[in-house]
Amino acid sequence: MIRIAYHYINRSALLDLISSLESPTNATRLQEARLEAGESTVRHMQLVFPIVAKIQAEVISRYGFSPDGRGSVAFTEHVKLYARDDEEIARLHAVAKEYFIPSLPHRN
C-alpha cells in the first residue's frame, strides 16, 4: 500500500515538475538562459541550472520535500529508487533530468 502511494507521489511530482518547467513563463526564462549560455557547459551550470533548481524546489515542496538542496537530493534519490521498477517514473525522470543536464552535442 505504501509503495503504491510513493509511486503515485513520484509520478505526480515529476509530472508537476515537467509541467512547471514547460509553462510559458518558465520556458521563456529557460530559453533565454540557454541562448545566453550557448554551448558552454560551465555557462549552462551558471545560468540554466539555478533556474531549473529553483523551479524543482518549488514543486517538490508541495510533495513533502524541503525546498532546498537536501530536499532535491532526497527527491532525486527517491525517484531513482522507484524508477528501477516503474518504466513511467524512469521515463519522466529522464525528461526532467534533461533540463538539468542536457545532452551534449557530439563533436568529431
How many helices (H) and strands (E) the chain has is answered by: 5, 0
- Which pTM was predicted? 0.86
For residues 71 and 54, what is the distance between their CA atoms, to the nearest angstrom? Answer: 12
7: DSSP letter: H
pLDDT digits (tens, 9 = 90+) for 11-43: 899 999 999 999 999 999 999 999 999 989 899
Segment 58-88, tens digit of pLDDT: 999 999 899 999 999 999 999 999 899 899 9
- pLDDT given for residue 74 in this prediction: 92
